Each structure stands twice: as structure tokens, then as C-alpha cells.
Chains A and B, each alone.
Chain A
Amino acid sequence: MSKYIVTQNVADCIGCRACEVHCKEKNNSGSGAFYCRMIEVTSTEAPLPRIDFVYLSCFHCEKAWCVDACPTGAMRRRDKDGIVYVDKKSCVGCKACITACPWTVPQWNPETGKVGKCDLCMDRIDEGLEPACVTKCTTGCLSFTTPAEASQTARQAFAEQLLQNRR
């Protein structure tokens, strides 16, 4: 796990797929390739339909299968913050990383013949900004944070809910 995490408030997500588009526009991932994806999950059980969308990107694993599988060293983990990214020059398009990843997260770019994946827009992070998907999320349901902060925020929200219910 990189030191960062992108969290999603599912209740506020409307499945508008702006995150996917902002990512594609920023990272030029190629036709059919999505570094992040909104997965629709529906349930029609009474009394209310559930139509939810779950944000899935790369987990930036601490011990990343894709990095271990890469024969050329193109798939790398950045020392300073643990972001897992592809060095495009070194990628030979063997797809070993795609096979190795338990969630098949690395994406195939048919236009370049190389793999691409979420690097949390690390050029933006280095400028003090947030990833494209988070920055421009239509409803603000995505947050760019750290695991510790995310936990604190979630606990705070839960506590406030408890108090509201008691009132």
C-alpha cells in the first residue's frame, strides 16, 4: 500500500463516470483501457432498489504482484511514497503484470502496445495537487487521503451519526 489511499463515499456516488473520463483525459490511457472504473452493483429486493457504484482502481500494494512479475523492471514502486507505476520506456508489452495482478488492474493500451495503470497522477501529487479523478469528481464522493486520515474521518462521521440518532 502506498502511503496514500483514495476512498469513496458510496452514498454520494451517482455513477456518472466522470472519474473514468477525467482519468482517461489526463492519462491518455488508450481506447478500452480504464485505470479506474466504477463498478455498478444493483439489487432489486423490496422495498427499495439498491443501485450502487464502487470505485475500483489500483491498490498500490505494499508487495505488488505486478512489480514482482515484470521481467524488465518497467513496473516499479516509488520509494518515497509507495506508488506503483509503469516506466513506459522499459515496458515491452509482455502483459505478465496483468496476469500476475489478482484484480487484473494493469490496463492494456492497444495504441502504444504497452501497459498503463493508475499512478495516482503522481505528477499532480508532486505539485501538491490531487489525482484527476478525485479533483473533479462530480459529487465530491472521492477523497485523496491516507489510511490514518481516512479512518479518522470515517470514525468522526459515525460518531456524529450516533449523536444525531440519539437526538
Chain B
Amino acid sequence: MKETKYSICGMCAVRCPVTVQVENGKPIWIEGNSHDGGMGRSLCAKGGAAFAQRLDRQRPTAPLLRRGQRGEGEWREASWDEAFDYITTRLNPIIAEHGGRAIMFSDRGGPFADLRQAFVKALGSPNYINHDCTCGRNVHHASKSVYGLGRKDFAYDYENARHIVLFGRNITESLKVKEVKSFLRGIKNGARVTYIDPRASVTAGKASRYWQIKPGTDYALLLGIAHCIVANNYYDTDFVEKYVNGLAEFKAFLTPYTPEWAAGETGIAASEIETFCRELNEDRPKVIIHPGWMLARYRDSFHASRMIHILNALMGSIEQPGGLFYPKGPKDAGKSGLKSLAALVPAVNEERADGCGSRYPQWDKGAGMLQTAYEAIDSGVPYPVKAYFVHRHNPFIAMPDTKEQRRILDKLDLIVAVDVNFSETAWFADVILPENTFLERDSILRTEKGLKPGFGRRQQCVKPLNNTKAGWEIYVELAKRLGKGDCFPFNSIEDIWQYQLQDTGLSVSDFEAKGFVKLSDKAIWFDRDKLKFGTETGKIELVNQKWEAMGVPSLPPYVAPEGPPEGSFRLLFGRNGYQAHGMHHNNPILCDLLDVNKLWINTAAAKKLGIKDGDQVRVTAGDEQGTIAAYVTDLIHPEAVFMLHGFGSDVPAKKRSFGHGLADQMFMQGKLKEWDKAGGGLNLAECFVTVTPV
């Protein structure tokens, strides 16, 4: 029997809608869910390798209990009963002695996090944390300080834009299928694209202007651009008058930051900056200056992103076709939203271990901050943290300095990893609870914000091949065994779905036809004369007093980055379109596309060192070193070297990728303690390495 199932991909954090065909219980075809017009049948390489992931046996296929030392890789298979018992017998004394707050949990956020947040809350802990300190925290906090709205409160209408400006936002490789299709339609419709990055990614090849900026000087370039725009009145005076506070102070602050000055800092000619600004003036308001997706890079990334948010306001591109728009939710369509699972759980009024909202008043409590939670584990301040659940999240490679992370996490009494793969972090855990692949699991319903808001469903398309469970089953069962069953009055995923849909007037069967339900037929745009922002004043704040009072200056003077010492380079990293976050480097198909990374190095810099294309070179930082092939090219700035992230796995069970290539985070020694003080994002591009011929 052949069936068609609509679901949501789980190969990366983008979570695209997919169609899966199943014959006699076997998956035979997967493609994009073409009921979603922006998606069509398109599917990226990662999604295309989903069946291969399911069949791959180099993954946890049953609950595993650690036998040897942490990280030694000695495991014993256990029943689910035994694994749950193992966890509860260790967790109960921790809770008895230190309280529920001694438990922390991290995942990669996303639209299904509600259930996991409910789980952490039910245990009496405030310490739910997502991965965002290595991703978009700087962008998010910058957005809050300008608009009072989070980074996800804006989306981008590329298709109708006249000018798309990307500060390292590598749209073609840090890939979202619907976004890249919209971006390419924008180009076809005549949009200019300005791409700014010390390394020319594939996106640079699609741009009409590429600036190979000196690494670490984005804020300087933005100051020069802002200067030129306000000095020449290249901005939307009506929009600014109506919605923007602090222009006079902003203008005064920008006085010294002329395009000539910016040229000296960034290496981008003043005349080019001026031409670019003139174009922005012609193209506004249909201008998108992307404030960044992953922007845990430099010590001033928060301020670079903040300046981008401000420039978008000056362009008047807010809630504007061809510019930025508010993704609308159910309420904007006059409908009720999904009921929250966390709302069923009593509130936890403890201080967070990571200090969000207390030691760091400017940081959102919702997503937490992993590196300062590590400080709490290490120091026992503000209180002891003794147990860590790490859910399909891999801090050992996402965060800097794996060795230091191992030292800190070894202080914990219990580490539980829930994962589909053997992540480097899971390999260090005491228990691995294997999760079903996305093809094999149901998830809670998600809200899909956009011009036409709706809800979407991931459903189980095929039965699990191995002794694995869905995340919701794991956490509901664990909560019950820990005496918190009353917070989860559900026996099946259908129970959960029905509860979520309670106020919406919809039923589960409404998802059968397309996999999602739209709450509006028409695109919803707000009245541009009545826009509201989330700041105290309801205006866009160029100078935000609330943030100033929390110790974050709105307009700090520029401080030039430290340059690499003689013979050293700034280490940059990134990804390609087919392997993300180290999750799929061992996938049987995807490892066939690329099984080792290379070191990009500038032609002139390489020549000086006597390095030719393809030569093996030694990369060194502190006592960390490794050998890698050089890719000698003009596509990278002379001060920087670059490698793809996610290689150099030290997990021997991943036989196809074990030891292949180098891992950038290993070179970032001491960097676990260096982050953007305003935004909280780690400084992942502030590491220097030496490169020598072998």
C-alpha cells in the first residue's frame, strides 16, 4: 500500500515542510511539500539524505549507559526501563539536596521547544537554555534594544527588494530553501545585492557588489555608511520623524565616522561607500540590510547588528513590501493560538544559574546563555548545578575550546544526552537516550508565523527501525517517573495535539490534507501609519535609555580590532549547503560529497610562507595543532584563514568521519570566556592561528 504523508524535515534547524511517500511501511520518496507554494518540491541535500540517516547504524540505536570513564566510549546497551531508572535514581537525590534548579537543559530552540521547556519547568528548574550564544543572540538583543522586538519579529521580502545587503549572511550556503528561492527571484526581478565578507562564499558569486572587508571591521563600515546616509539626507524623513527617537544624538555621534575614515579601517574605498549609499537612497524603502543570522563572531557584533537595525529604520523599510515585515501570528488573523504546554506547569521563581535577567539584566531569560551557565557549573555560584540534559545539541563543537568544556562538564553528577546521532557531546554523557529520526517521530504542533500565519505538523511517517523513542515520549515518561505526571496529562501525541488545538476551532484531522493549516487566505500587512514597537516609548530607539541603564551604551565609539600577530591569521569558519553543524558529516551519502575540510588562505599570504595550493600545512594555536591541505585563493582576505565547520570529529563510532579534517573550535583556547558583553554571543571569530608549511 502506498501512502503520502506530510511532515516537517528535521535534518537541520530550518525544518522545511516535506512530503514523504511510504510503501508497505518503507519510505520510498521524499520531496518538498508542494502545497507550500514557496517551497514547491524542492529539497536540499540534507533533506535528501534523510533515508540514509535512518538506515545508518553508526548512530545510537538503543539506550546506552556509560561503562568506562566519561568520553572513553565504553557503552552498554540498556532497556528503556533501565535507562529511565538510571536517570531517576541519580536525579532524585540531586533534587532532594540541591533543588530542581540544580538541573539544566540545553537544546537548539525552534518551534517544538515548548514541550522541553515544560519538562524543565516541571522539574522546578529555571535553567532551560538554547544554543543561541553561538548563533543569533547578538542579533536578537540588538533588535530588542532598537525596536523592543526580537530578531524573529522581522522577516524579509527578498523577492520584491531593490537592494539586498548581506554582512556575511551567506544565504546560498547557510541554506533555507524558501529563503534562497525568494532571494534568487529578487535577483531575477532586478535587485542589487551587496555582499560583505572577508571570504567570498557562493553568495558573493550571486552579488552585484562584493566587498572583501578587513575581518572584524563591520561596525566601522556601518558607521561610515550611517554617516554618509545622515549627512546627505539619504533617509526616509517621514518614517524617521514619525517613528524614530534620537536622530540628533545619532547625527552628532556619527560626525567623526566619515566614509574616508571607514575606508582606513575596513579597506573599502570611500568612493565605493558613497556610491553604495547613493544607491540605497534610490532603492529605499525596498531595501533589506540583513541584521545577521549567526552573528556570534566579534566582540562588537551586537553593535554592528544594532547599526544594521538602525539603518533599516532609516531606509523606512519596516513593514514594507521589498523590505522587512512582521511575521504575523494567529492573533493577527483574528484567531487563537496553540495552547502552551509549559502553561500547564507551575511557575518557577528561581534566579537563573546563567544570570540572564539578574547578573546580566539585559539578556532575555527565555533562551538563557550557555557559557555563563558553564561558569555556574564550574564555580557553584549562584548555586550548584549538578545535572545536564543536552537535547540534540552539540556544545562540544558549537562552543569554543572543547577541552575546557570537558573539564567543566566533568564536575556534573549526571549528563543525559538525547540525540539521533553520536554527537561529540553525547559521547561524553553518562546516558544516551536515542531519539527517533524525524521520519520516525511525531512532534508537538508548531506555529508558523508569516504573512499568512498558520500551524504545521510533523508526523511519524514510518515506524522506528531501532529501539528509539520520540522526544515527547522520552520527556513525558521521565516527568511521570519523577512524580510530575500531573503536568503532562497526556497518553499519546494525539492527546497533546488536541490540547494544543483546544482554542483554535481546529481538529487534528485538519492537518491531513496538506500537513499545515493556514489561518488567513490573504497576506496580512499592518497599517504603516499605525506601527507599534516594543520599546518603552513605542518608538524605534537609536539611543535606548533602558539599555543604557543596564550598562549597554547605545552608540559606543569604535575600537579597532586587534590585528593578527606577524605570521598569524584570524581563524574564520562557516558551512556549505550540504553539511550543517557537524550533524551530517558521517551521513553515508553526505560524507561522500565532502569528507575532509581545507584551509583557505590568501594567495599573497601563502606565497610569503612558501605554501602552494594543495600543500599540507600545520595550523597551531597554543598547544593545539593539526595538519590540513591548503586551498590557496584570492577569495579570502590576507589577514584571515577559513575552514568549514564540523570536521575533525573525535568520536570513533562515526567511522566515515572520525579524524577527518580539522575542528575550528579546538583552536579557540580560552575563548569560552570571551563574548560580546552587550549581546552575549561568543566571539567565535576572535581567534588567531599560525600556519606553517609541513
Distance from B97 Cβ to chain A, minimum over Cβ atoms (Å) = 50
Cβ distance B137 to chain A, nearest Cβ, rounded Å: 27
Name B578's contact: one of A21, A32, A44, A50 (CB within 8 Å).
Answer: A21
A112, CB-defined interface residue at 8 Å: no
Q: Does B204 contact A138, Cβ atoms closer than 8 Å? A: no
Instruction: Judge if B205 is at the interface, Cβ distance under 8 Å.
Output: yes
Interface pair A25/B592, CB less than 8 Å apart: no
CB pair B578 A12 closer than 8 Å? no
Determine the residue in chain B with the shortest Cβ distance to A134. Answer: B41
**Chain B residues with Cβ under 8 A from A32's Cβ?**
592
Instruction: Tell me if B43 and A22 are in contact (CB < 8 A).
Output: yes
Flag if A49 contacts B205 (CB, 8 Å): yes
- Contact code string A16-50 (vs B, CB < 8 Å = 1, else 0): 11101110110000011000000000101001111
Tell whether, in the assembled complex, residue B635 and residue A21 are in contact, meaning their CB atoms are under 8 Å apart. no
User: Looking at the complex, which one of B45, B181, B205 makes contact with A140 (CB distance below 8 Å)?
Assistant: B181
Q: Decide if A24 touches B40 in the complex (CB within 8 Å).
A: no
Complex partner residue of B48 from A11, A47, A136, CB under 8 angstroms: A136
A17 near B578 (CB under 8 angstroms)? yes
Q: Is the CB of A44 within 8 A of B41?
A: no
Q: Complex Cα distance A32/B175, Å?
A: 24
How extensive is the interface on chain A, given as a class?
Answer: 20 to 34
Does B42 sit within 8 A of A, measured CB to CB? yes
Contact partners of A17 in chain B: CB under 8 A = 45, 577-578, 593
Nearest B residue (CB) for A31: B592
Provide the B164-189 mask, 1 if CB < 8 A to any CB of A, else 0: 00000000110101001100100110
Docked CA distance A139–B592 (Å): 22
Q: How far is the CA of A111 from the CA of B37 in the complex (A)?
A: 39
Q: Does chain B have a CB within 8 A of A94?
A: no
B51 nearest in chain A by CB position: A25
B residues in contact with A44, CB < 8 Å? 200, 633-635
- Give a binary string over A121-138; 1 marks a CB under 8 Å from any B CB, 0 the rest: 000000000000001111
Residue in contact with B590 in the complex, picked from A11, A14, A21, A51, CB distance below 8 Å = A21
Known: A44-B633, A49-B205. A14 touches B593 (CB 8 A): no
Q: Which residue of A lies closest to B594 (CB)?
A: A17
Q: How far is the CA of A20 from the CA of B44 in the complex (A)?
A: 10
Does B589 lie within 8 Å of A25, measured CB to CB?
yes
Q: A21-B593, A51-B202 are in contact. Are A16 and B172 (CB under 8 A)?
A: yes
B49 CB within 8 Å of chain A:
yes
- Bound Cα distance A33, B111 (Å): 37
Cross-chain contact A21 with B205 (CB below 8 angstroms): no
Q: Would you give the shortest CB distance from B267 to chain A, in whole angstroms?
A: 14
* B52 CB–A CB distance under 8 Å: yes
Tell me whether B338 is interfacial, beta carbon within 8 Å: no
Whole-angstrom CA separation of A85 from B581 in the bound complex:
38
Look across to chain A and name the residue whose beta carbon is closest to the beta carbon of B212.
A49
Contact assessment for A140 and B202 in the assembled complex, using a CB-CB cutoff below 8 Å? no
Contact of B175 among A11, A14, A21, A137 (CB under 8 A): A14
Of residues 1 through 56 on chain B, the ones whose CB sits less than 8 Å from some CB of chain A are 31-32, 40-45, 47-49, 51-52
Tell me whether B210 is interfacial, beta carbon within 8 Å.
yes
A139 touches B180 (CB 8 A): yes
| Residues A24 and B175 in contact, CB atoms below 8 Å apart | no
A147: Cβ under 8 A from any B Cβ: no
Query: Could you say which of A11, A21, A140 has the most chain B C-beta atoms within 10 Å of its C-beta?
Result: A21
Q: Verify A50–B175 contact, CB threshold 8 A.
A: no
Q: A44-B634, A51-B202 are in contact. Are A140 and B42 (CB under 8 A)?
A: yes
Residues of chain B within 8 A of A50, CB atoms compared: 205
Residues of B564-614 contacting chain A, CB below 8 A: 577-578, 588-590, 592-593
Closest to B588 in A: A31
- Whether A15 and B200, one on each chain, are in contact in the complex, defined by CB atoms closer than 8 angstroms, is no
Q: Are A14 and B577 in contact (CB under 8 A)?
A: yes
Name the residue of chain A whose CB is nearest to the CB of B272: A47
B230 CB within 8 Å of chain A: no
Alpha-carbon gap, A139 to B43, bound state (A): 9
Known A138-B180, A138-B577; further 10 A-B contacts with Cβ < 8 A: A11-B187, A12-B188, A14-B577, A15-B577, A16-B45, A44-B200, A47-B210, A48-B204, A49-B200, A140-B42
28 A–B contacts from the bound complex (CB under 8 Å): A11-B184, A11-B206, A14-B172, A14-B175, A16-B577, A17-B593, A18-B43, A18-B48, A18-B577, A20-B45, A21-B589, A22-B48, A24-B592, A25-B52, A42-B635, A44-B200, A44-B635, A47-B210, A48-B207, A48-B208, A49-B204, A49-B210, A52-B205, A136-B31, A136-B32, A136-B48, A139-B42, A140-B181
B-binding residues in A (CB < 8 A): 11-12, 14-18, 20-22, 24-25, 31-32, 42, 44, 47-52, 135-140
Q: Interface of B with A (CB < 8 Å)?
A: 31-32, 40-45, 47-49, 51-52, 172-173, 175, 177, 180-181, 184, 187-188, 200-202, 204-210, 577-578, 588-590, 592-593, 633-635
Which 9 residue pairs of A and B lie closest in terms of their CB atoms, listed nearest first?
A: A51-B205, A16-B577, A21-B48, A14-B172, A44-B634, A21-B45, A18-B45, A49-B200, A136-B43
